[in-house]
């Protein structure tokens, strides 16, 4: 695939290798082995259940955003396919993969479904920022971190206001597109207007108070389930592990995975997860134990979501190769549009 030849792919490989080296350098391997050996792995059972519920909550949120055009079962398996492609392919290819699958299942325009996926990511970020604001008073953190959290919250609020304006002034923006077409006859105005209307339809649920509240409620639910999963894994290594520690770990990892890395976030996941426990909670977690917790959490998440993706391909009648070729065509067209721009 062409994505394996991009500079961003190799940058991600380099970042992952560097982070993995930083996580294990000077680490006493005997202490890491002892931490893994003495863990209480019965906690992995509720951890897996919480992660499955997190995926279900995330799938239901997508159904809310797609309104009557989607079914929970399709959304659940599309999410699983997205996890699979993110885990095994670079550049977070799981995002376009799940959009393509869901658009086909719902018989909706790809742009409309992609817009709801963007709204999902905004809701995720808003929920994570809220979680950060909640846990910061309970932790000793630099003033800069608190300012960053507040700035992210303000930026998200402005983004939501902008999206609401996009929907509210849809007719005005459509007239602007057509006016632009009259000045530049070479532009495919009708196609551009059609894509614009698909974007607007994807944003419409934000203007419906009940659905917007419901979507944010499901966001809170899926992230609470995710935090509960990490808390269970922490408890398997640390008997007095606290929910606030799991929350901060999830917040840190959520921001970290935005950095270019290898498929499955290998390396950056281990380093950031380890440091999210060691730096603020060093009295309870040393580097070997924190790394053991992070490796276990990553393996649990990776194996479960990959398994859901494989089952999802079978349930939806898709194949990895067919969807991979569709993604290749999508990637090539997206790169061509960027080059024209």
Q: What is the pLDDT of residues 141-152, one digit of tens each?
A: 656 666 766 677
Which of left, alpha, beta for 317 (phi over 0: left; psi -120 to 50: alpha)? left
Buried b / exposed e along 34-50 (16+ C-beta atoms within 10 A) = ebbeebeeebbebbbeb
| Residue whose structure tokens are 């060093």 | 282
CB 81 within 8 A of CB 101: yes
> Averaged over 24-49, what is the pLDDT?
95
| Alpha-carbon separation of residue 79 from 57, 163, 178 (angstroms) | 11, 24, 37
Residues 6+ apart with CB under 8 A from 112: 103, 198, 199, 201, 202
Residue 69 is given by DSSP the state G
Cα–Cα distance, 320 to 330 (Å, whole number): 15
- What pLDDT, on a 0 to 100 scale, did the predictor assign at position 129? 85
Closest to 220 in 3D by CA, of 12, 58, 18: 58
| Residue whose structure tokens are 């899926």 | 222
| Both tokens assigned to 189 | 């105005």
| Residue whose structure tokens are 């909640």 | 134
Closest to 202 in 3D by CA, of 114, 275, 79: 114
> Averaged over 226-244, what is the pLDDT?
97
pLDDT of residue 250 exceeding 90, the answer is yes
Confidence grade of residue 341 (pLDDT, cut at 50, 70, 90): very low
- Give the angle subtended at the CA of 206 by the CAs of 201 and 212, to the nearest 5°: 135
Helix boundaries (H) for 107-137:
110-135
Is pTM, for the whole model, over 0.95? no
| Residue whose structure tokens are 């053991």 | 292
Number of structural domains in the chain: 1
Exposed/middle/buried for residue 7 (C-beta within 10 Å: 0-12, 13-18, 19+): exposed
> Averaged over 302-324, what is the pLDDT?
94
CB 312 within 8 A of CB 81: yes
Helix boundaries (H) for the chain:
7-24, 29-37, 44-66, 72-88, 94-106, 110-135, 143-168, 170-183, 189-203, 209-237, 243-256, 268-278, 287-316, 320-340
Give me the domain span that covers residue 122.
Answer: 2-340
> Averaged over 217-237, what is the pLDDT?
97
CA 341 to chain centre: 27
> Averaged over 226-253, what is the pLDDT?
96
CB atoms within 10 A of CB 308: 22
pLDDT of residue 1 exceeding 60, the answer is no
Cα–Cα distance, 219 to 196 (Å, whole number): 26
Confidence grade of residue 331 (pLDDT, cut at 50, 70, 90): low
Residue percentage of the chain with pLDDT more than 90:
54
pLDDT of residue 90 exceeding 80, the answer is yes
């Amino acid at each position: 695939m062409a994505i394996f030849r991009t500079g961003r792919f190799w940058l991600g490989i380099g970042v992952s290798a560097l982070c993995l080296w930083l996580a294990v350098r000077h680490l006493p391997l005997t202490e890491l082995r002892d931490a893994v050996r003495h863990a209480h792995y019965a906690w992995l059972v509720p951890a897996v259940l919480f992660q499955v519920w997190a995926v279900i909550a995330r799938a239901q949120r997508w159904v809310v955003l797609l309104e009557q055009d989607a079914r929970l079962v399709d959304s659940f398996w599309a999410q699983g396919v997205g996890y699979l492609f993110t885990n095994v392919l670079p550049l977070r290819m799981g995002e376009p993969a799940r959009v393509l699958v869901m658009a086909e299942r719902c018989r909706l325009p790809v742009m409309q479904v992609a817009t709801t996926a963007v709204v999902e990511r905004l809701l995720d970020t808003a929920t994570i920022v809220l979680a950060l604001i909640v846990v910061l008073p309970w932790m000793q953190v630099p003033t800069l971190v608190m300012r960053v959290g507040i700035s992210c919250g303000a930026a998200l609020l402005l983004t939501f206001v902008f999206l609401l304006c996009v929907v509210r002034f849809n007719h005005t923006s459509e007239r602007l597109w057509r006016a632009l077409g009259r000045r530049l006859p070479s532009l495919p105005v009708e196609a551009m207007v059609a894509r614009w209307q698909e974007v607007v339809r994807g944003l419409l649920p934000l203007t419906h108070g009940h659905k917007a509240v419901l979507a944010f409620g499901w966001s809170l639910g899926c992230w609470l389930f995710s935090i509960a999963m990490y808390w269970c894994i922490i408890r398997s290594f640390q008997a007095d592990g606290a929910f606030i520690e799991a929350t901060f770990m999830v917040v840190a990892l959520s921001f970290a995975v935005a950095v270019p890395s290898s498929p499955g976030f290998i390396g950056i996941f281990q380093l950031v997860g380890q440091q999210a426990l060691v730096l603020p909670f060093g009295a309870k977690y040393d580097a070997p134990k924190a790394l053991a917790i992070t490796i276990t959490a990553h393996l649990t998440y990776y194996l479960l979501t990959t398994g859901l993706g494989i089952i999802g391909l079978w349930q939806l009648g898709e194949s990895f190769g067919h969807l991979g070729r569709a993604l290749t065509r999508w990637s090539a067209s997206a790169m061509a549009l960027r080059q024209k721009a």
